[in-house]
């Protein structure tokens, strides 16, 4: 007998029960077996951030995971993935990263505000991509000298006179205001 078995789109174990219906004893005409299916090739990446807010100059952890066209995790230990920032220049702990069991993790640092997203692309196959969530970057603590200029520079001590003080532009160590 010949029977065609089509698995589901989900990778994993598929149990099969078969029975021949032409005779006795029935117990000898039954068989149970398992067909194991695996994920297909990498079709896309998910890019996850450990947090979606960061202060300029601090790092976040980015995790890249590979999936096939049926959303099955791909168990891959050799593919290299190039990471980039959209927009702007980001500093990665390791770049490119190599998948291990379909995942890769590294750090990312942004020194300039306001926002960025991390894009993952297969080295040598740039059409296989993934784009992470937006990360909001806020300025670091003020750095350098902060000056103030009063106007007027002298006022009468009468409890109602005022002077406006204007400061210089306040920036962090990276020039963010």
What pLDDT does 4 receive?
A: 76
Instruction: Say which residues have a Cβ less than 8 Å from residue 25's Cβ, sequence separation at least 6.
Output: none
Residue with tokens 């969530």: 133
Mean pLDDT per 10-residue interval, the chain, length 177 residues: 77 82 71 88 98 97 98 97 92 98 98 94 97 97 91 94 94 93
What pLDDT does 26 receive?
A: 67
What pLDDT does 1 receive?
A: 57
What pLDDT does 14 receive?
A: 83
Give the predicted TM-score (pTM) of the model.
Answer: 0.81
DSSP 112-163: SSSEEEEEEEETTEEEEEEE---EEEE--SB-S---EEEESS---SSSS---
What sign for the dihedral angle of Cα 159, 162, 168, 173? positive
């Amino acid at each position: 007998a010949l029977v065609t078995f089509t698995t589901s789109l989900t990778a994993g174990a598929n149990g099969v029960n078969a029975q021949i219906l032409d005779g006795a004893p029935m117990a000898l005409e039954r068989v149970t077996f398992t067909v194991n299916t695996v994920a297909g090739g990498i079709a896309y990446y998910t890019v996850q951030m450990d947090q979606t807010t960061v202060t300029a100059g601090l790092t976040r952890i980015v995790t890249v995971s590979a999936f096939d066209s049926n959303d099955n995790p791909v168990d891959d230990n050799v593919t290299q993935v190039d990471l980039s920032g959209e927009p702007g220049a980001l500093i990665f702990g390791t770049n490119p990263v190599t998948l291990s069991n379909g995942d890769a993790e590294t750090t990312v640092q942004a020194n300039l505000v306001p926002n960025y997203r991390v894009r993952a692309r297969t080295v040598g196959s740039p059409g296989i991509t993934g784009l992470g969530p937006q990360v909001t970057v806020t300025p670091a603590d003020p750095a350098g000298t902060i000056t103030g200029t009063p106007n007027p520079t002298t006022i009468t001590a009468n409890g109602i006179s005022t002077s406006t003080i204007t400061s210089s532009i306040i920036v962090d160590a990276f020039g963010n205001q």
